[in-house]
Amino acid sequence: MDVWVIVVVIALCLVAVAAYLGMRSRRANGSRRLKQQFGDEYERTVAQTSDRTAAEQELERRVERHERLDITKLSDEERERYANEWRDVQRRFVDEPERTLGDADRLITQAMRDRGYPTEHYDQKIEDLSVEHAATLDAYREAHDITERHERDGVSTDELRRAMQRYRAIFEDIVETRTTTKE
């Protein structure tokens, strides 16, 4: 009987170790998946929370929210219309850089709305975009920051140009098109 007790204890220990290793493996795979999906946004979220587990939970929450949204692709006609509107904004940038910065931001917001993204709050837009557009999210943040600084204090023409370039990156990603006109 003593032998059977030892065998059962060893078996239970092996099961516990296997479960622990399986859990670690799933967590590592989840971390890798999130790092791949979110790129730099993963590291930004970890840095903001100072806690990798909390950051990963936040990113998972974003994915779950995104799955509940009715995000659609734009039709070919809509993409062409947006591309034409973007080219118009870029053309006007030469003569009216201050005004066209706001137009670029509004055009991006409208494209997001047409795709099904909620657009009422900037922070929520950032979180929602991070799920599928993490690669250009820093471009959007930077352009938005320059626009806000410009509205408050004014910025140099070089900064306005940089904002337009950054807006173009997120615009092309959201609309899923490549524009060919340069500023």
* pLDDT at residue 88 tops 70: yes
Q: In angstroms, what CA-CA distances link 111 with 19, 47, 104, 116? A: 46, 30, 11, 9
CB within 8 Å of 39: residues ≥ 6 apart: 134, 135
Contact by Cβ (8 Å): 117, 71: yes
Is 70 exceeded by the pLDDT of residue 18?
no
Q: Is the pLDDT of residue 14 over 90?
A: no
* C-beta neighbour count of 47 within 10 angstroms: 9
**Domain residue limits, the chain:** 2-68, 76-175
Contacts of 122 (CB under 8 A, 6+ apart): 144
Angle, helices 2-38 vs 122-153, to 10°: value is: 40
**Both tokens assigned to 109:** 């917001």
**Is a pLDDT exceeding 50 seen at residue 65?**
yes
Token pair, residue 105, equals 């931001």
pLDDT of res. 19:
53
CA angle 39/41/44 to nearest 5° reads 125
The pLDDT assigned to 182 comes to: 43
- Helical spans, DSSP H, in 116-156: 122-153
Alpha-carbon radius of gyration of the chain: 23
- What pLDDT is recorded for position 13? 65
Residue 181 pLDDT grade (very low, low, confident, very high; cuts 50, 70, 90): very low
Q: What is the pTM of this model?
A: 0.76
